Structure 1
Amino acid sequence: MFFKIGELARRTGLTVRALRHYDDIALLVPSARSAAGYRLYDRQDVARLYRIQALRRLDLSLADIQGLLDNAAGGIAQVVARQVAQLDHEIVQASALRTHLLAVQRQLQASEEPGIDDWLLALESMVTGAKYFSDDEQRTLKAQRDGFSDALAPERAALSAWLQRLLAAGVSYEDTQAQALAQRWMAMLREETAGDEGLLMKLYSMHWNEPSLHALTGVDRAGMRYIAHAMAFARLQLYAPHCSAEDMAALREHYVAQTLAWPPLIAEVRQQMLDRAPCDGAAMRALARRWQALSLAKAGGNTVLHAKLQRAMRQDAALRAGSGIDEALAAYVGQAMALLDSAANP
């Protein structure tokens, strides 16, 4: 018994267009054609179509489904196991979010306004989730907030208000007030991330990229840019023990201009390190070249000053603190750049 494409579409609830697409990509090729060239589907075709639709309910792509159906040992059990694991992961995340929202709900029912950190935690769970943080990292952030959020909430609000006043007054990044604000802001973030430089960069990325967080914190990209530049001026003094007066003059001219380019590059390099990518792999070589170029630009193209800055960063932990560059990452990227240099000068 054969079905024409229109009849099969009516019987299965699919569209003719969908069945034609399945044929075009060789996912469901009709077993026969009529003399006039119409597609004809037999019982085996219908059975395959049933399997396709069953697997579609597991949110598999058509390419994945085709691979499974075309390989007798294709591991459908593994696919189901993967889906179950994903659902378990989502259930855990949803359960944690539900627990937190119930606490927020109780505060609202008691006519208490939830604190900014309560809203931030709920928003991070809903908006970001695994987009920025692993489960362990989210637990770390929550534990840190639970430990000091009540104490820091007033200071967070005060710093945000201070930032808005400085911006409105047009106070320079170089002003001591701006630098004091930036240093305290970064210290607060380091407390929140328990001093984890990698987590600090992820938190920075989240606050930079998520407009909904800008509304809650009162710190948008303009505010973050101001803090970053003010912090760069504050950090300049840390190089003084390693540099001459002439070097410091060059740094004042070039160092701050590169500030915003560093966080995304540091994040990419850290991901390579976490993935255990080889230092001489193509991806890491490209990142090492970017790192070298940015470091050289920070020194105004002065190779001698560049070498001083690299040495200072390796030797002085104070320069790495709050930069997103811990000792492990510094060693990793240092090895990648050394391999670049040795390849260029065999």
Structure 2
Amino acid sequence: MFLRIGELARRTGLTVRALRHYDDIALLVPSARSSGGYRLYSRKDVARLYRIQALRRLDLSLADIQGLLDNAAGEVSEVVAQQVAQLDREILQASALRTHLLTVQDQLQASEEPGIDDWLLALESMVAGSKYFSEDERRRLTTQRGGFTDAVAPERAELSAWLQRLVAVGVSPEDPEAQALAQRWIELLLEEAGGDEGLLMKLYAMHWNEPSLHALTGVDRSGIRYISHAMAFARLQLYATHCSADDMVTLRQHYVAQTDAWPPLIAEVRQQMLVSTPTDGPTMRALALRWQALSLGKAGGDAALHAKLQRAFRHDAALRVGSGIDEKLAAYVGQAIAHLGDASTS
């Protein structure tokens, strides 16, 4: 028994256009065609469509779904396991948020109600924390901060004012003054994170995404980007001891241009590492390809220079400070990149 495309669309709730697109990209190719050229779908095709729709509910891209369906079933199991782990984290975060809200409620009932702007900012910041940190990570941050936040508050305010002055007068992130500002800013974030590069990246993401924190810190996305680029220029100077003069000319043309793409990629890879995603699976293959392209891009596509940069990064601890990449993460993504090479020679 075969179903024509219109009937399949009607019975599944999909559009004819979507089914045609699935055919065009070879995700769901009908088993037969009628004498008039109409697509005809078999029972096997419908079963594949069911799996496609099930995987779509896991927020996977069509390319990822195709890779999963065309490979071993174990990889589908990997994706499901990741989704279960994500749901577990969301349940813990929701529980922690409820506890925080009850605390706020008690405070409001027991004392004079603060100004609406004050408690809205506090509440939004609290919600932001639950998005980015697990319950254990929030406990670690709370312990680490014990008195730290208040102690550095004046310096943070001074750095914020300094940043705004530099941006207002158009000082380049390459300027030594901008680099000094950025390095101190990152040092403070690292102290807040207890030296944990993974937590540093989460703090970075939270400060990047949450308008409530922009209001509290006085540093918005443009300011964070300025700091990030200034750090890239500072790191570039460190590479000078590992590279030739010609190498540095190439790096000055390409290195900083890659800066904005790194934090979200590092965060994605770290998340996969935390849930023990196999380094030879489809998820990490895709991330490793992005990592490899970015890494080569900052060297202007020069493979020899790329190799120099990798060696320098491995052996010079100063280059890794504030990068979000610790030894464990570097080893994990290194394994994924090595599997890319294995696949190309098999």
TM superposition score category, shorter chain reference: 0.5 to 0.7
Q: What is the TM-score normalised by the length of structure 2?
A: 0.68
Report the counterpart of residue 236 of structure 2 in structure 1.
236
Change (3 A) 1:106 1:216: farther
Q: Which has the higher contact order (CA 8 A, sep 6+)?
A: 2
Q: Does 1:224 align with 2:224?
A: yes
What CA deviation, in whole Å up to 9, does each residue of 1:306-345 have, x standing for no partner? 1111122222222111101010000011111111123223
Please give the alpha-carbon distance, in whole angstroms, between the structure 2 residues aligned to 1:107 and 1:192. Answer: 30
- Paired with 2:146 and 2:275, the residues of 1 have a C-alpha distance of 30
Name the amino acid aligned to 1:320.
Answer: R
Matched AA of 2:166: L
Partner residue, 2:98: 94
Matches within 5 A, 1:164-183: 164-183=164-183
Q: Which runs of 5+ in 2 are unaligned?
A: 1-10, 13-56, 58-88
Shift of 1:269: 0.7
- What amino acid is aligned across from residue 248 of structure 1 in structure 2? M
Q: Distance in 2 between matches of 1:306 and 1:250?
A: 11
| 1:101–1:122 Cα contact (<8 Å) kept | no
In the other structure, the counterpart of 1:245 is 245
- The match for 1:318 is 318
Shift of 1:152: 0.4
**1:244/1:87 CA distance change after superposition, 3 Å:** closer
Give the superposed CA RMSD: 3.1
Q: Which residue is 1:123 aligned to?
A: 124
Gaps of 5+ in 1: 1-23, 26-62, 64-84
Q: How does 1:64-103 map to 2 (within 5 A)?
A: 90=94, 92-99=96-103
- Are 1:200 and 2:200 matched, yes or no? yes
Task: For 2:282, give the aligned amino acid.
Answer: A
Per mean C-alpha deviation after superposition, the further-off stretch among 86-95 and 313-322 is 86-95
One-letter code aligned to 2:275: D
For the residues of structure 2 that align with 1:344 and 1:160, how far apart are their CA atoms? 48
- The percent of aligned pairs where both chains have the same amino acid is 66
Alignment partners' CA distance in 1, 2:201 and 2:183: 16
Asked if the contact 1:285/1:340 (under 8 Å) is kept, the reply is yes
Once residues 327 and 98 of structure 2 are traced to their aligned partners in structure 1, the CA distance between those partners, rounded to angstroms, is: 36
Matched, 1:159 2:163: no
Partner of 1:277: 277
CA–CA separation in structure 2 for the residues paired with 1:323 and 1:105: 44
CA 189–343 in structure 1, closer or farther in 2 if over 3 Å, else same: same
Q: CA deviation at 1:247?
A: 1.1
Runs of 4+ in structure 1 off by over 6 angstroms are 85-89, 100-111, 118-121
Alpha-carbon separation, structure 2, partners of 1:99 and 1:171: 44
AA matched with 1:264:
P
Q: What is the Cα deviation at residue 94 of structure 1? A: 3.2
* Contact 2:121-2:212 at 8 Å conserved across structures: no
Which range moved further: 87-96 or 219-228?
87-96
Q: Do the aligned partners of 1:265 and 1:287 also contact (CA within 8 Å) in 2?
A: yes
**Inter-CA distance 187–150: structure 2 relative to 1 (3 Å threshold):** same
Pair 1:211–1:311, CA change in 2 (3 A): same
Shift of 1:97: 4.7
Question: 1:122-176 CA distances to partner (integer Å, 9 max, x unpaired)?
Answer: 5332x32432110011112222222311110001111111111001100011111
Q: Which amino acid aligns with 1:269?
A: V
Amino acid at match of 2:162: W
* Bigger Cα Rg: 1
Corresponding residue for 1:45? none
- 3-state SS of paired residue (1:242): coil
Equivalence for 1:305: 305
Structure 1 length as normaliser, TM-score? Answer: 0.68
- Aligned partners of 1:338 and 1:297: how far apart in 2? 18
Q: SS in structure 1 opposite 2:147? A: helix
Query: What amino acid does structure 2 have at the position aligned with 1:293?
Result: A
Cα distance in 1 for partners of 2:283, 2:167 equals: 39
